Structure formats: C-alpha cells, structure tokens
Amino acid sequence: MTAFDGAAMTADLARLVSAESPSGAAEALAACREEVAALGERLLGAAPAVHGEHLLWGSGTPRILVLGHYDTVWPLGTLARWPFTIDGDRATGPGCFDMKAGLVQAFHALAALPDREGVSFLVTSDEETGSVTSRPLIEALAAHAEAALVAEPSADGALKTSRKGLARYDLRVTGRAAHSGLDPERGVNAGLELAHQTLAVAALADPAAGTTVTPAASRAGTTANTVPAAASLAIDVRAFTAAELARVHDALHALVPVVPGASLAVVDGPSRGPFPRSAAAALYERAARTAESLGLPPLREAAVGGGSDGNITATLGVPTLDGLGAVGGNAHAEGEWLDLREMPARSRLLSALVAGMINDARW
C-alpha cells in the first residue's frame, strides 16, 4: 500500500463509521473496538495493549503521546437512516468527522514512520462523556510524555491551540407529590422550583469573559395530574480560566430554593481544566514549519469552546497540540462531514511532525 493513499484511507474510514459506537453502549463499543484494533494491527504491525475499553499502541512511558477516541455522540440505529456516504469529495456519516477520520489519519501517519520508538497512541472509548474511565490512563501516560498530539477534528481546517475548560453538574430538586386536582396545595412543586433554578443557572454566564453556563437536559414529574415530587437539570459550564470555572462552581453550590418546602442538591460531574494557548505555542510553530516544508498551505489556529483529552494533558503542563485530525464540519450535528481530499495531507503533516520530534532531543 502506498503511504497516504486516499482510497485506502477512505475504505478504512468506511469500516470504522459503519461500526456504531455511542458512548456507554457496551456491545456496540466492543464491536467498534475490534475494528479499531484490527486497523491498528494491520497498519502498525502490532496488536494493542487493552486497558478495559481503551487501546494503546506503544509503551506506557512515551516521549510523544498521540490521543484519539472511537466513541461518538450518535445513538444506536442512526446508521439505519444515515449510513456512511460519499458525495464527490465529501463523506458523511455519524462520527465520521468527530473523530473516526482522525483515527484513520493517525494510524496511517504512524504507519509511515520508519521509527516509532518513544511514540504511543492511545484510543479511548469515553471521551465524549468526559473521559471518566480513561482519565487515569491518560494522566499516567502524560506523566512521562514530553508532548501530546491530539487527532481530534480541526476547526474549519485550523489547528486548536486553546480550549475552554468544562464542568458538568446535575441539579436535583426534591418536592412533594400531591393530586393536582384534589389537593395540589399539599404538594411542593419540584417542576416549578426547577424553573426558578434554570433561570438562576443561566444567569451565571459571563459572555464578556467567554463563560457559558447552559441549562441542558431537564426532567420533572411523572403524570399530568400529579404535582411533581422530583426534578433534575443537567448543566454544562465552559470557561477559558480556572478562576471562572471556580466562580460558577461556587455559585451553583450556593443556590437556594425559592418554592417553600423544596430542597436542592448539586452533584458534580466530569470536568476538564482549561487548555491555554501557552501549552500549544511551541508545537504550533513547529507544525507550521513542518507544513511549509511539505509544501502544504499555511496553517491556521483557533481557540474553541469544546473540550477534549488535550485539556487533560495541557492542564498537567504537557505541551499539547490539538485539532490535528479531519477537515470538515458539523461536529455533533446532523450531517457532519469531512473533506476526503484533506485526509492524506493531514496524515502527512502529523507523520512529519512526529518524525521531526523523534529526531529532536528537545522533545
């Protein structure tokens, strides 16, 4: 097989996208994990070390850590109505852009290296839900790494040199049930309390600072003729600084009930610290020089609101460069797509970047 063969990469992508892998769906993840393992073994000449649902090629003490994930946000059955499809130079399908194309590009990039000594590639199963089980493994590998390269999708072609930190919470409201026709006054309406708290939560955002606080999935009550006894709200917080994340955290835990008799509990969920540009600056400059040496178009960079496992490595002080994966758009949205023409070029860029770092004692 010719290095960076676009047709071969497209065929590999089709196999991965056709293996549905929503976070938390154990059987589907296992089937997709077999496809990922087979692809890696074919291209890298070695089976991965298996860490639960996560796959690792290379040693546990890498100089250069490459990161990716095979889970997606798309529920089982999505492929039945939206299969992997090629239309000219575009490919679509659930998870094609975020981030199965990035996996394919990374495998082909590493396969082209004459020497992979000191390079490890970790592919995880739970990035989309906060890396709860993979985080200890990422941190253990990062403790030895001199650099982390993340094969997440680009931002409209730009590499990602900073990301907001994120934190998720679950706000739980307890009220008291009652018949909504016979004696509603005996109840304590958890749904009404949730409405008050939803407005209070949203007010914690600070657009000027780039801090978003999003009331997301909510639930209240059981039937139309019952005063809701319980309600819940998922909350998503994003901020560029640790101080802003701390401000919102403290404010959420200081919320007080409005409806007499109601009570609140705020449960902390997964979190990732901010990924500052300082963590990516030197690597981005090196990538820009590498792209120029390959005759590729000038690179661009972007700061983004979405988090990734790059946040984990950057927070630990490991130089980190993100967005080295696919060029396309509509991540997490209907019709996500990627530009097939860019796959070989982006794979070449990653390969040359890693090769140069292997041969540079600085890294």
CATH 3.30.70.360 positions along the chain are 165-272
Please tell me the chain's helix, strand, coil percentages from 3-state DSSP, rounded to the nearest 5: 35, 25, 35
Strand ranges across the sheet with 263-272: 212-220, 230-239, 165-174, 263-272
Q: 6-164+275-358 — its CATH code?
A: 3.40.630.10
Q: How far apart are CA 358 and CA 246, in angstroms?
A: 38
Residue range 220-277, pLDDT digits in tens = 999 999 999 999 999 999 999 999 999 999 999 999 999 999 999 999 999 999 999 9
Residue range 68-97, pLDDT digits in tens = 999 999 999 999 999 999 999 999 999 999
DSSP string, 218-259: EEE-SSTTB--SEEEEEEEEEESSHHHHHHHHHHHHT----S
CATH 3.40.630.10 positions along the chain are 6-164+275-358
DSSP string, 145-157: -SEEEE-PPPBTT
Q: How far apart are CA 274 and CA 314, in angstroms?
A: 8
State how far Cα 46 lies from the chain centre. Answer: 26
The CA-to-CA distance between both ends of the chain, in Å, stands at 30
pLDDT for position 1: 58
Cα-flanking dihedrals φ and ψ of residue 167, to 5°?
Answer: -150, 140
Q: Is 359 left (phi over 0), alpha (psi -120 to 50) or beta?
A: alpha
Residue range 190-229, pLDDT digits in tens = 999 999 999 999 999 999 999 999 999 999 999 999 999 9
CATH C-level class of 165-272: alpha beta
